[in-house]
Amino acid sequence: MNFPIWDVPLMGGGLLIGFVSILHVFVAHFAIGGGLFLVLTEHKAYRENDMRILEYVKLHSLFFLLVTIVFGAITGVGIWFTISVVSPSATSALIHTFVFAWAIEWVFFFVEVTAAFIYYYTWGKLDRATHLVVGWIYFISGWLSLFVINGILCFMLTPGEWLHTASFWDAFFNPTFWPSLVMRTVVALALAGLYALLTASMIKTDEVRANLVKYSTRWLFPAFFILPIAGIWYNIALPPLAREISMGGAPAVTVFAGLTILLSVLIFVFAYFYPYRQPAKFPAPAAAMFLLLGLMVTGVTEWVREAVRKPYIIYDYMYSNSILVAHKNDYYAEGILKSAKWVTVKEVTEANLHEAGATLFRLQCQSCHTLHGYNGIALMVKGWDEEFIDHQLDNLDQLKGFMPPFMGSVDERHALARWLAGLNRRGAVSIELTEPPARPAAAAEEIEHDR
Amino acid sequence: MIDSLVVVPDADAIGLPAPVWFLKTLLNVTFILHIIPMNFALGGGFIAAVSHFIGRKTGHAHHLMLSRSLSRMLPIAIAFTITLGVAPLLFLQVLYGQYFYTSSILLAWPWLTVIVLLILSYYGFYLYSFRWESLADRQLRVVLTSAILFAVIGFIFSNNMVLMLTPERWMSVYQESPHGVYLDLKDPMLFPRFLHFLVGSFAIAGLLVLIIGMGKLKSEPDYGLWAIRHGIRWFLFPTLLQLGVGTWFLRSIRHDVMLQFMGGDQAATAYLVVGLSFVMITIVLMFLALNSDRPKGLAYAGICTTAVVLVMMSLMRDFVRDAYLKPYFDASEFSVQPQTAVVTLFLALLVISLGVVAWMVRKAWLATHPAQ
């Protein structure tokens, strides 16, 4: 609409965002919980007066630095890059609302990065007390950056009173802020444990390995008790539609939501019986498996969180296809092509029907659907005739609660239905909207040919 | 001026959270803070590679020591390039989002490749730093690869920053392909602009070498003095080269904008004149330092005058941006819905954080430099 729509064949932009953000979330939570792990384990080493534990913390802090400061930080920037090319309108809305929240997060991030480097580079050089203080500064600033980003993330699903007041504080301390903060905090602790299991299971000395494997496993337990309670709390704060989508409204989402719970329970049960009860026998490959399971839970959970937000990208404010809810009714009478930027078809005519249909697909559908790949539309409309598709489009939000309504004039809807109905007839179709000028004539011929 | 084929997205419906001048100040200040470590990392990578090469060929110990010193600095320089880069990217989006997002979309794949290249280049620099001994004769390959990747990132950035200034080309680019596979090689400003940054980074990283030298003056006086002089040479040669590259860059700027620097606009002309004057002053100071037995004071003065040059160059860059976008960008059209409390909180936290960081850095410095 306002911005050009980036066409990512087969995969779709949404999947790309998912890919980058799942990797980032998996590392970023570790960056927070892992900070506390480092400093508390350093305390433990001094308390037990065991230099072998201290050696482990040193090594683990290198691993921590390489994973979080490099991969974690860059993928964080990566999410930004990705969302701004896939959903520029939503990114812009977020930036305009939260630029100073992000600026505050950046301040914490700056402290965090400095503290991480100093913590690592001053092992054995700083006195113990000061070194621990640096560790604590790292963890506190890291957790505060979570505090800030959590408000922005939750806003997208539950903007709450902001919709009426446009106040920053309403946007930030929105209905899911607190339960989400609790959930993310305990997940951060659990991930700290999971990552630590990997490094601890590689310790050569049996006694130290058993000690630290068992100790690392304990970091998973708070999540086991707190996540169910916080999860229910979170669920209550969700908009009714989102709750329904996760609990039966959309089967795929429900299955994934169930999978989140199942995988989490699996991790905790195995963690209790294996590394916790038999820490000496816990090998590194098993730790790697645990970590992989953790990545899967992260992936599935983030996917569900994104999926329940449909049909919006910012709830009740902006639809998934970047059209503002407030503008919805403008397009029924006037049509959407007229006011859309980046399109060459401004009005539906008999001659440009095909091109208009393809353009409308790009404007209204392509943010979630590809043509032949992920969430591919061609397969979905296979076997449907034009009239049926038109009926579906006319009642889209009624028939599929997780989809936005079709927003356009009757002519435009017909054009889209015609184009969709033709997808499977013509075989492989690509949406080349804007070929050189010869194209409209060619498209018209094609339509003639179809008849 | 604007013809019908020029498509520019509308500004966001949500107003700005602070006045334009305030956001612009934050944008320029944080940008300057970002380009210092960026130059250290970009130029420093190449200097490390060159020193490494010379050191190995000639057996010159100081060259090898310098590449070792740089290897320790590069990961930290990159970390702060990224960290300090986040802030200008934020303020750029809030003020110029409709241009920046559009050009990013047109360049989507190359633009996203930056993330992959950055991860590779960063890990390469870590490898160079942490596996110095075990890398043995692969050291040079590793550091050179990382440096080149980092330069490629710079080239992609130049691409985006140039394309965002020329909305008149967007629609035809998008019509050519909506897949975000464009690489903007046609703009006359692109290559001189990129080269200007690249050559500049050698000079600024030369200052890093100089600073390393000053840090070593007491503990290893021979190496310290050598590094100071070597750093000055790294500063001087690219800077002299820059007289040519910079002129090419200036001439490649759209004619009407270029004329603004030639007296057309008072502020623009002042930035250029002050910038060039300080370049000349710096060159003289550095020449004097090069031939002095006690170069420290002169070198400090040179670093300070270079800082003035950096500020002027950044202001010029900002001026070029606004001048290019003038037909499409009117800052007075923004509505402002000030978030005074949040802005105040941000500033307060910034001050506190700077205090905390200063405390940590001081403690770390004292612990790692016990003799001083």
Distance, CA of B36 to CA of B34 (rounded, Å): 6
- For residues B292-312, give the mean pLDDT: 95
Q: How confident is the model at residue A218 (pLDDT cuts 50, 70, 90)?
A: very high
Chain A, 66 to 125: residues with Cβ < 8 Å from chain B are 66, 69-71, 73-75, 77-78, 80-82, 84-85, 88, 91-93, 95-97, 99-104, 106-111, 113-115, 117-118, 121-122, 125
Would you call A95 and B13 a contact, using CB atoms and an 8 Å cutoff?
A: no
Residues B48-62 have a mean pLDDT of 94
Q: Provide the angle, in degrees to the nearest 10, between the axes of the packed helices A88-121 and B61-106.
A: 160
Contact A8 B174 (CB under 8 A): no
Residue of A nearest to B103 (CA): A85
Yes or no: say if A53 and A208 are a contact pair by the CB < 8 Å rule: yes
What's the confidence (pLDDT) of residue A187?
96
- Distance separating alpha carbons of residues A146 and A150, to the nearest angstrom: 6
Confidence grade of residue B186 (pLDDT, cut at 50, 70, 90) = confident
Residue with tokens 């401004």: A346
Render pLDDT for A258-291 as a digit per residue (tens, 0 to 9).
999 999 999 999 999 999 999 999 999 999 999 9
Q: How far apart are CA A411 and CA A353, in angstroms?
A: 9
Nearest-CA residue of chain A relative to B339? A168
What is the 3-class SS of A341-394, one letter each residue?
CCCCCCCCCCCCHHHHHHHHHHHHCCCCCCCCCCCCHHHHCCCCCHHHHHHHHH
- Identify the pLDDT of residue A449: 43
Rounded percentage of chain B residues whose pLDDT exceeds 90? 88
Condensed to tens digits (0 to 9), the pLDDT of residues B146-172 reads 999 999 999 999 999 999 999 999 999
pLDDT of residue B371: 60
Distance from C-alpha of B272 to C-alpha of B267, rounded to nearest angstrom: 9
In this complex, is the C-beta atom of A163 within 8 Å of any C-beta atom belonging to chain B? no
Which residues are CB-neighbours of A164 under 8 A, at least 6 positions away?
A: none
CA-based nearest distance A268→chain B, Å: 32
**Average pLDDT in chain B:** 94
Write out pLDDT tens, residues A158-168: 999 999 999 99
pTM comes to: 0.93
Q: Exposure string (b/e) for A300-315, b if CB count within 10 Å is 16 or more? A: bbbbbbbbbbbbbbbb
How far is Cα A171 from Cα A165, in angstroms, rounded to an integer? Answer: 9
Q: Given pLDDT bands bounded at 50, 70 and 90, which one contains residue A64?
A: very high
Return the structure tokens found at A256. 């994934």
B275: which 2 tokens?
A: 């910038």
Interface A:B, Cβ pairs < 8 A: 200
Chain B residues lying within 8 Å of A134, measured CB to CB: 360, 363-364
> What is the reported pLDDT for B4?
55
pLDDT of A191 > 70? The answer is yes
Judged by a CB distance cut-off of 8 A, whether residue A46 touches chain B is no
Per-residue confidence (pLDDT) for residue A443, from 0 to 100 = 41
Is the pLDDT assigned to residue A50 strictly greater than 80? yes
The whole-number pLDDT of residue B372 equals: 47
Contacts of B234 (CB under 8 A, 6+ apart): B43, B47, B202, B203, B205, B206, B209
Distance (Å, rounded) from C-alpha A238 to C-alpha A156? 11
- Stronger pLDDT, A440 or A224, i.e. the higher one: A224
Q: Which two tokens stand for residue A90?
A: 């939503």
State the DSSP string of A110-150. HHHHHHHHHHHHTTTTS-HHHHHHHHHHHHHHHHHHHHHHH
Residue B114, pLDDT > 80, answer yes
Query: Do the Cβ atoms of B174 and A342 come within 8 Å?
Result: yes
**Distance (Å) from the C-alpha of residue A358 to the closest C-alpha of chain B?**
13
Residue B99 CA to its chain's centroid (Å)? 21
ipTM: 0.94
Tokens 């194209």, residue?
A439
Does the pLDDT at position B198 exceed 60? yes
* B interface test, pick of A23, A58, A68, A96 with most B CB neighbours within 10 Å: A96
pLDDT digits (tens, 9 = 90+) for A286-340: 999 999 999 999 999 989 988 899 999 999 999 999 999 999 899 998 899 999 9
- Mind listing the pLDDT tens digit for each residue in A356-382? 999 999 999 999 999 999 999 999 999
Rounded CA-CA distance A12/A357 in Å is 19
Q: Which of A72-76, A429-433, B251-255 is least confident?
A: A429-433
Average confidence (pLDDT) over A79-94: 96
Mean pLDDT of B28-53: 97
* B83 with A4: Cβ contact below 8 A: no
Contact state of A121 with B363 under an 8 Å Cβ cutoff: no
Which pLDDT tens digit goes with each residue over A403-451? Answer: 999 999 999 999 999 999 999 875 444 444 444 333 344 444 443 444 3
Residue A148 has pLDDT above 90, yes or no: yes
Contact A118, A199 (CB under 8 A): no
